[in-house]
Structure 1
Amino acid sequence: MKNNELSLIYVWDAYCGWCYGFSKSLRTFHQNHLELPIQVLSAGLFVGDQSQSIAAYPHIPEANKRIGQLTGAVFGSSYDKLLNEGTFIMDSETAAIGFSALRSLAPEQVVYLAAAMQRAFYYEGKSLSDLETYQEIAKQFDLDEQRLIERIKTPETLDEVKQEFLIAANLGARSYPTLFLKKEDGLYNLGGGAMIAEKLEEKFAELI
């Protein structure tokens, strides 16, 4: 099969620690396969009744230790402070709105924009509900801050995000992160979690 008949779909959530751990593997695999178009979809992990304080999810500290051990991901001291205080509210809807706005301005940078958001939270301890966080990312990527803010604030972006959550759910990802390979005959799970880039390459070779 020709690679121009293939594409990738990555289902993630900005407040998903395993997605943070998977970020390096994804970026490496993406760099090795720039010929494959990639679509990055927010899953909406912490929305509605699930959008609660970090303290409401007591498994997170232990999960972070495991993520760090298996992937080498580093959780920053500013994030650890948020974790210890326990009052920070994880709101995947506002994070997805911010991501959608960033993505609309630089779709070719989508993998790196997602990584920048997760670094902002998991390393720098910044809220993904704050405009300032996105303005700082916009500066990093030389994006138009005013256009970004307009995109974040427009009601249409929220509508798009809610539709995106439904699309992501209907893809059949049982956990996050999940990287799919899209072929003419359907979707195939390439992997996620703690998979290193080499393992993604092996699975990719099997599937094509």
Structure 2
Amino acid sequence: MLKFLYVADPMCSWCYGFSKELVRFLENKPNAELDIVLGGLRAYNTEVLDADQREMILSHWDRVQQVSGLPFNMTGLDKSGFIYDTEPACRAVVAAKILTEDMPTSVNFLAFQAIQHAFYAEAQDITDEHVLAEIVVEALNRADRSFTFDVASFLETMTDVSTKEETRMHFQQIQRWGIRGFPVLLLVQEDGLHMLSSGYAKCEEVAKNFEALFPS
């Protein structure tokens, strides 16, 4: 079975841009596993976003929008006192991963994408744990075609000490690998990890790198 590691952060704009290309790449690999490793782009940040930082980030968003064609709501950073801390969003993905361990990994990726869409396209505040819980629970129930998941239970898992520690372990793993930027897509094989893309890449480029590992 094919297995990929996707190193990303829900609040990384280039990861949002890459999401469409990753979906295209995986379309003809329905049984592949996609294990998300959370990057912690600005994890544990405590500084309120100032005007200069806001303009710098919005310039990145504008570039990603031009390259990817994905929708952006540029008002997402306008909230007074906004702190660009990516730890809660990463932890929500870890919580979803814990709760869906018996389900296909594609479900966790759907939760990841739902968080991205809520932040970039809908300007929702995904530093708020309750907002995150609502977003992820809706995504999981839609994927499961049920009402199995509920906000209160998800919040309990998300705020548990063990989930916070597991999230921190994701960040530490990224540091050990020496990865400094996102997104990164890796192919897992018996002889180790193989880089398929580092940074934003089109589906065709990722596919070319993948096919180079399996010459006909």
Do Structure 1 and Structure 2 share a fold, with TM-score over 0.5? yes
CA shift in 2, pair 1:201/1:136, >3 Å: same
- The alpha-carbon deviation at position 20 of structure 1 amounts to 0.7
- The alpha-carbon deviation at position 128 of structure 1 amounts to 1.7
CA shift in 2, pair 1:204/1:54, >3 Å: farther
- The alpha-carbon deviation at position 44 of structure 1 amounts to 0.8
2:95·2:158 contact (CA, 8 Å) conserved in 1?
Answer: yes
Partner in structure 1 of residue 135 of structure 2: 136
Q: What is the aligned counterpart of 1:190 among 193, 196, 210?
A: 196
CA-to-aligned-CA distance 1:26-57 (integer Å, 9 cap, x gap): 12222322332221011111124576526452
Q: What is the aligned counterpart of 2:87 among 78, 82, 93?
A: 93
Identity of aligned residues (%): 28
CA shift in 2, pair 1:193/1:83, >3 Å: same
CA shift in 2, pair 1:132/1:206, >3 Å: same
CA distance in 1, matches of 2:178, 2:204: 24
Which structure 1 residue ranges, 5 or more long, are not aligned?
none
- The alpha-carbon deviation at position 61 of structure 1 amounts to 1.5
Given the alignment of the two structures, is residue 16 of structure 1 paired with residue 15 of structure 2, yes or no? Answer: no
CA shift in 2, pair 1:172/1:182, >3 Å: farther
TM-score, normalising length: structure 1? 0.86
1:46·1:52 contact (CA, 8 Å) conserved in 2?
Answer: no
Given the alignment of the two structures, is residue 61 of structure 1 paired with residue 67 of structure 2, yes or no? Answer: no
User: Which one has a larger percent helix, Structure 1 or Structure 2?
Assistant: 1
1:55·1:83 contact (CA, 8 Å) conserved in 2?
Answer: no
SS at match of 1:179: strand
SS at match of 2:27: helix
SS at match of 1:141: helix
CA shift in 2, pair 1:61/1:19, >3 Å: same
1:75·1:122 contact (CA, 8 Å) conserved in 2?
Answer: yes
TM-score, normalising length: structure 2? 0.83
Count how many residue pairs are aligned between Structure 1 and Structure 2: 201
CA distance in 2, matches of 1:110, 1:44: 17
Question: 2:99 corresponds to which letter in structure 1?
Answer: L
- The alpha-carbon deviation at position 159 of structure 1 amounts to 0.7
CA shift in 2, pair 1:33/1:86, >3 Å: farther
CA-to-aligned-CA distance 1:4-35 (integer Å, 9 cap, x gap): 3x421001111111011011111222232233
Partner in structure 2 of residue 120 of structure 1: 118
SS at match of 1:168: helix
Question: 1:89 corresponds to which letter in structure 2?
Answer: I
CA distance in 2, matches of 1:192, 1:176: 7
Given the alignment of the two structures, is residue 177 of structure 1 paired with residue 157 of structure 2, yes or no? Answer: no
Given the alignment of the two structures, is residue 73 of structure 1 paired with residue 70 of structure 2, yes or no? Answer: yes
Higher RCO structure, 1 or 2 (CA under 8 Å, sep 6+)? 1
Which structure 2 residue ranges, 5 or more long, are not aligned?
142-147
CA-to-aligned-CA distance 1:83-127 (integer Å, 9 cap, x gap): 345742111111111111122223521221111100011111112
Q: What is the aligned counterpart of 1:151 among 148, 157, 176?
A: 157
SS at match of 1:45: coil
